[in-house]
Homo-oligomer: A and B are copies of this chain.
């Protein structure tokens, strides 16, 4: 999309976060996004109101790994790097992602509870599946669900294991928590996240209605 080529990544992150807030993905300081740029990894700060972010609040790092080096810190010295850093790192490292986002969407949480025993979210027969990498509308979508942990960083290993077990899927659901979605670039991360959110909601609504979706 032509608009993608011109907007500096810090401005883009702020704009996307405002959009994600309106979608219910990042309220209460939860959620976030990280985008790989030519200069390094841009990352939203931790624990702030995502819809009020300003470009100067965005971190620029040399990566998302544990010994990450800060290339450009936010102007505000009270800001910290996102708690999601190691989880974002999983996407960058294991999948060569260009961007990864974290959503606390209520539909993701409800969907994770509907499929709690099964350990994976499943759906089939929905056109919106086509927005997911490599999926057709009649294929079965399967998204791994991992248990939540007291601290976000404690999810790192189980998230990585789920990613290895589900190589064709660009998302991991965290029970009672939300979902991580990534893509080759920010546009694919965002559009896949929109498709997943739609699918989560579709299954929840169909369940409430007592209809099968396929």
* Chain A residues packing against B (C-beta within 8 Å): 1-4, 27-30, 48-49, 52-54, 56-57, 74-76, 104, 106, 109-110, 113-114, 116, 125-128, 130-131, 136-138, 148, 150, 174, 176-178, 187, 190-192, 194-195, 197-198, 201-202, 204-209, 211-214
CB <8 Å contact, B1 and A176: no
CB-based contact B150/A54 at 8 Å = no
Which 10 pairs between the two chains have the least Cβ-Cβ distance?
A127-B177, A28-B195, A28-B131, A28-B194, A27-B194, A113-B211, A2-B76, A125-B176, A29-B191, A28-B191
Q: How far is the CA of A167 from the CA of B176 in the complex (A)?
A: 26
A131 touches B29 (CB 8 A): yes
Residue from A1, A54, A57, A206 whose CB has the most chain B CB atoms within 10 Å: A1
Q: Is the CB of B209 within 8 A of A114?
A: yes
Please state if A3 and B54 are interface contacts (CB–CB under 8 Å).
Answer: yes
The answer to whether A208 and B208 have CB atoms under 8 Å apart is yes
Q: How far is the CA of A89 from the CA of B89 in the complex (A)?
A: 46
| Complex: A213 Cα to B75 Cα, angstroms | 39
- Judge whether B205 and A126 touch: CB under 8 Å: no
Cβ–Cβ contact B110 & A211, under 8 A: yes
Known A-B contacts A1-B52, A191-B49, A194-B27; A150 and B136 likewise in contact (beta carbons under 8 Å): yes
- B residues in contact with A195, CB < 8 Å: 27-28, 30
- In the complex, which residue of chain B has the Cβ closest to the Cβ of A116? B211
| With known contacts A1-B48, A3-B54, A110-B206, A174–B75 Cβ distance under 8 A | no
Pull 15 A–B residue pairs with CB atoms less than 8 Å apart, ordered by A.
A1-B76, A2-B57, A28-B128, A28-B131, A28-B195, A29-B131, A29-B191, A110-B205, A113-B212, A116-B211, A127-B176, A127-B177, A137-B150, A176-B214, A204-B209
